Amino acid sequence: MSGNAGLFELTAHELSGLLASGEVSAREALAAVYERIDEVEEEVHAYLLLTREVAEAQAREIDERRARKDRLPPLAGVPLAIKDIYCTKGLETTCGSRILKGFVPPYDADVVERCRRAGLVFVGKTNMDEFAMGSSTENSAFGATRNPWDLDRVPGGSSGGSAAATAGSEAILAMGTDTGGSIRQPASFCGVVGLKPTYGRVSRYGVIAFASSLDQVGPITKDVRDCALMMNVLAGHDPRDSTSIDAPTPDYTEALLPEVNGLRLGLVKEFMEYQGRGVDAEVADAIRAAMDRFRELGAECDEVSLPHLNYSIPVYYIIAPAEASSNLARYDGVQYGHRSPEDGADIIEMYSRTRDEGFGAEVKRRIMLGTYALSAGYYDAYYLKASQVRRLIRRDFDRAFERFDVLVGATSPTVAFRLGEKTDDPLAMYLSDVCTIPVNMGGLPGLSIPCGFSAEGLPIGLQLVGKPLAEETLLRAAYAFEQSTDYQRRRAHPIEERAGRRSAVGRA
């Protein structure tokens, strides 16, 4: 087994080739990933739960089926990390919250069922900001995740565990969710590929709800081909989700062409600055260099302004908390997870103690904001107004898509920031998603791909945004770009990073 140690650094399509040819067994691949986890997880803390027994049984079954010469799906035997927001039958699901501690779902989310059918092997449940509220994974009730590129920095959030697991080779690929940037922003901070599909393209059935009109499921992977392969698994109609789109699903790998001839790319001004303040210079430089690269690859590039995007953050922080306050009303100590002791308390006191002890500060802040915004007399002034502005944001996108096939900009205004740097300043934290939130407002597909590194060696993400259901266009553009660079081939090395940190005594 020891000869397979490097297997954990492979992409899913590389590994699936070795699995299909019989050079490597699913059990060996899994053992290599767990060896890696044993080495680095203590530093990175990407996982809330490791599901070794389940994974070993899944891997064994794949190996047996392969030995019987069964026809297996392309990703059969590939180790997958699952954000702890997905209901997984028989496996504890906490959503990063104390209030769901001990909750074992009796059913699988639609996408989890799809992953099982695809033969993916479940390594574990990944850490996340509580109820997916956050941009750094520091809001997890169970401790922060660290960025495998620099252990003093955040991996982004809320899907920080999934992004760190993928970037640190503690999984071959992962799943996240994205309400305002939670797939793309951590993918950007961790130097991996993250796709938020069109709202409704992937089922939300069994995904713990945050803001239902914005939430969407998607893959976090080491490269673009893996992203396409994972979309083949995840996408599709689900009658159990009333917002699920009933449209045929393509083979996303067919979009992977090495050129973008004639593709019209628009660099969005508002993805490069917010209220007059530009994104970090290193980020801006990398994005502009990426535009030049696209030009060389045959794309037509121009700039465009979508002025209503300037309202995205205020609109989001009305709509998302309003929906969250309603979705989170169900956690009352009766139906799920944690219940505070009732000694002498009546039911109202039990509810309020449970919620007071069970929810963290950010979740409480959002529940209060949302309840206020929805209350009688304020609804028109806040929620209704925000919904109207949201419509204007979508209209800006629709107009821009008359001239462009893909809109481009930064994924996040900065590279990964330091742990603790923004925890005392929620508004500064909220600005991490200034470039990603508008895309959720419009229900559009958005993809983040590595497009360079800062002087300190931290990954920079490029965001590509498409028309509804134009995931293939995004994958095509991202693939052509990726093939012309080597950013996605670099891997984070948390062990060396840790050793460096220990030896750099007295480093500021």
Question: Can residue 182 be called a binding residue for ligand GLN (CB under 6 A)?
Answer: yes
Closest separation in Å from C-beta 84 to ligand GLN: 13
- Contact 196/234 with Cβ under 8 angstroms? no
Question: Rounded distance, CA 418 to CA 112, Å?
Answer: 33
412 is catalytic: no
With CB under 6 A as the contact rule, the residue among 320, 386, 415, 441 that binds ligand GLN is 320
Question: Can residue 446 be called a binding residue for ligand GLN (CB under 6 A)?
Answer: no
Query: What residues contact residue 382 under an 8 Å CB cut-off, 6+ apart?
Result: 318, 322, 372, 373, 374
432 is catalytic: no
Which candidate in 83, 125, 222, 467 is catalytic? 83
**Nearer of residues 154 and 460 to ligand GLN, judged by Cβ:** 154
Question: Can residue 181 be called a binding residue for ligand GLN (CB under 6 A)?
Answer: yes
Question: Rounded distance, CA 252 to CA 231, Å?
Answer: 7
158 is catalytic: yes
The phi and psi torsions of 183 (rounded to 5 degrees) equal -95, -45
Closest separation in Å from C-beta 85 to ligand GLN: 9
Closest separation in Å from C-beta 157 to ligand GLN: 6
Question: Can residue 136 be called a binding residue for ligand GLN (CB under 6 A)?
Answer: no
Stretch that binds ligand GLN, among 49-57, 128-136, 147-155, 397-405 (CB under 6 A): 128-136
Closest separation in Å from C-beta 166 to ligand GLN: 17
Closest separation in Å from C-beta 132 to ligand GLN: 4
**Nearer of residues 210 and 252 to ligand GLN, judged by Cβ:** 210
Partners of residue 407 on adjacent β-strands: 266, 465
Residue 158: cis peptide before it, omega within 30 degrees of 0: yes
Question: Can residue 130 be called a binding residue for ligand GLN (CB under 6 A)?
Answer: no
Read off the DSSP letter of residue 187. H
- Contact 265/406 with Cβ under 8 angstroms? yes
Alpha-carbon radius of gyration of the chain:
22
Closest separation in Å from C-beta 196 to ligand GLN: 8
Stretch that binds ligand GLN, among 126-134, 294-302, 350-358, 450-458 (CB under 6 A): 126-134
**Nearer of residues 148 and 186 to ligand GLN, judged by Cβ:** 186
Classify burial at 478, counting beta carbons within 10 Å of its beta carbon; exposed 0-12, middle 13-18, buried 19 or more: buried
Closest separation in Å from C-beta 192 to ligand GLN: 16
Query: What residues contact residue 398 under an 8 Å CB cut-off, 6+ apart?
Result: none
Exposure class string for 378-408: b at 16+ Cβ within 10 A, else e? eeeebbeebeebbeebbebbeebbeebbbbb
Question: Can residue 238 be called a binding residue for ligand GLN (CB under 6 A)?
Answer: no
Closest separation in Å from C-beta 138 to ligand GLN: 11
Which 3 state secondary structure label does DSSP give 136?
coil
**Nearer of residues 121 and 132 to ligand GLN, judged by Cβ:** 132
Question: Can residue 463 be called a binding residue for ligand GLN (CB under 6 A)?
Answer: no
Classify burial at 247, counting beta carbons within 10 Å of its beta carbon; exposed 0-12, middle 13-18, buried 19 or more: middle
Question: Rounded distance, CA 292 to CA 87, Å?
Answer: 43
Which two three-digit tokens encode residue 345?
A: 């308390």
Stretch that binds ligand GLN, among 129-137, 217-225, 481-489, 495-503 (CB under 6 A): 129-137
> Which residue bears the tokens 């925000």?
386
Torsion from C-alpha of 235, 240, 244, 246, nearest 10 degrees: 80
Question: Can residue 409 be called a binding residue for ligand GLN (CB under 6 A)?
Answer: no
Read off the DSSP letter of residue 179. S
| Site size for ligand GLN (CB under 6 A) | 13
Q: Give the CA distances from residue 71 to residues 23, 74, 242, in Å, rounded to whole numbers and listed in that order.
A: 17, 9, 33
With CB under 6 A as the contact rule, the residue among 138, 273, 323, 433 that binds ligand GLN is 433
With CB under 6 A as the contact rule, the residue among 140, 179, 203, 412 that binds ligand GLN is 179
Which candidate in 182, 203, 244, 340 is catalytic? 182
**Nearer of residues 124 and 194 to ligand GLN, judged by Cβ:** 194
The catalytic site residues sit at: 83, 158, 182
Residues of this chain that bind ligand GLN (CB under 6 A): 132-135, 158, 178-182, 210, 320, 433
